[in-house]
Amino acid sequence: MKFRSASNLTITALALVTWFGLTAAMVADDLKLEATLVWGTNEAQSPDPKHKPVCAEVEKKLNTLPLRWRNYFEVKRQTITVPESGTQKVNLSKDCQIVVKNLGRAGVELNVVGKGENVGRIKQPLPKGEVLVTGGNAANFTGWFIVLKQVE
């Protein structure tokens, strides 16, 4: 009788470990991302006092790209979670919205909407430690960028 109880306990424990492992694997397929709207300029200061210089990691990445601006300011940063095979919409400003689709192991699809119109789409793998950057020109010889990266 004791053997049967120990055997049942072992089977129950293995079932729970398997269930928790599968649950953790399902949650791990969600992408936790940080989306940042960045403004690029050659001016030393942003005319908007709410803007602050981008973090060192983003500045380093932007400085490796063939861009013409010397200074980059964070307009808005937001952390989002995109479920596996799901889509998340995020407003980064009154004129800028992004739509991020989780493509699983294939990466992400990023659609950028400016003033209600689709202005760009990019599909790219986005492993941890890598950064996706897209952007365009703006008025007065400035530029805008969307910086997307995985976060823990």
Mean pLDDT per 10-residue interval, the chain, length 152 residues? 48 45 54 97 93 95 94 97 96 96 95 95 94 93 95 84
pLDDT at residue 7, as a whole number: 47
pLDDT at residue 29, as a whole number: 86
Q: What is each CA distance from 15 to 1, 11, 12, 25, 135, in whole angstroms?
A: 21, 6, 5, 15, 49
Spatial CA neighbour of 33 closest among 93, 110, 95, 106: 110
d(CA 31, CA 152): 9
Q: What is the pTM of this model?
A: 0.80
